[in-house]
Amino acid sequence: MAGTQLVLRRALLYVPGSSQKMLDKSRNLKVDCVAYDLEDSVVPSKKSEARGNISRFLQTRSPGVTENAVRINAVNTGLALDDLTAVLKAPSIDTIVVPKVNSSSDLEFVTDVIRHNLPERHAENPSKTSTPPINVLALVESARAVTDLGSICKASPYLSGLIFAAEDFALDLSLTRTPSLLEFLFARSAIATASRAYNLSSTIDLVCTSYKGAEGQQSLKDECVGGKGLGFNGKQCIHPSQVEVVQKAFSPSDKELHWAARIRIADQKADRRGRGSWTLDGQMIDAPVVGKAQAIIRKAEACGIDVTSAMEIWKDQEPE
């Protein structure tokens, strides 16, 4: 598995590979991850053209896009090999998004193709290459996948995260999506828990299909809050207007950062005094709480948030 370090994928934005106009527009985006799509947004007659578009497009990097991903077609369609053979030649590719992963065999197939085409970017030997290993993200879209998450999470050393595809999951179980999203609670909890259990970097939540206007933006914010509360650390986006809201929601808030700064400073003082546990605002603080605070600070730094100012504000914080 490739997911032991902090990787920011707060927003994963899909861009159709068949649209040169949309590809060109993505050059100006500022987003953690763009998944250039060969799957659902590309009609069968445009698949070959889309492969060529993406391969040419990924000859260079876009300054505001941290991670270049490509969503290939599902392994069982027979199109995945051609997709991989084409896009893995692009020097700026970072990640492969694999849809409809129903079992470990889907990821094993993709892993074998990556090893054959890019042996120099092998996930198991990162110290032996000057280029980062390729990452893989797996889309969980079926009941079968949810019940086999353990095998899926162990299937590939390239695996860096799981993504929940709500619409296909709803189709598989004949569910009707509701604003509460309660019908997906078990699946989402299972995915977030499995991702953490197997040390994967990313757990990326469902697409918000209602996003236009004030009501749509509020729905997007509410879904982000709910997903973060379940353990997701990112969300899929289908329109550039969603990116800013999503990336802010999955970054530490000011409240979280200041809480973490108080904990870190007070804990350093408690440690010097030989105190393993102490209190803050009447709440007991011990190792797990300190660990959470440290994780918030690390993520804030990765998000480009000014941590130094928060630490300065609370420099006089004492353990109670």
- 69: tokens are 């991903």
What's the confidence (pLDDT) of residue 212? 85
- 237: tokens are 């986006």
Give bridge partners of residue 235 from the DSSP assignment.
11, 205
Using the structure block, give the residue that is written with the tokens 């604003």: 179
What's the confidence (pLDDT) of residue 123? 64
What's the confidence (pLDDT) of residue 171? 97
One-letter-per-residue 3-state SS of 128-181: HCCCCCCEEEEEECCHHHHCCHHHHHCCCCCEEEEEECHHHHHHHHCCCCCCCC
What's the confidence (pLDDT) of residue 6? 81
For the chain, residues with pLDDT lower than 70 are 1-5, 123-130
Does residue 91 sit in helix, strand or coil? coil
Q: Name the maximum alpha-carbon separation found in the chain.
A: 69
Nearest CA among 241, 201, 240, 248 for reference residue 224: 248
What's the confidence (pLDDT) of residue 293? 96
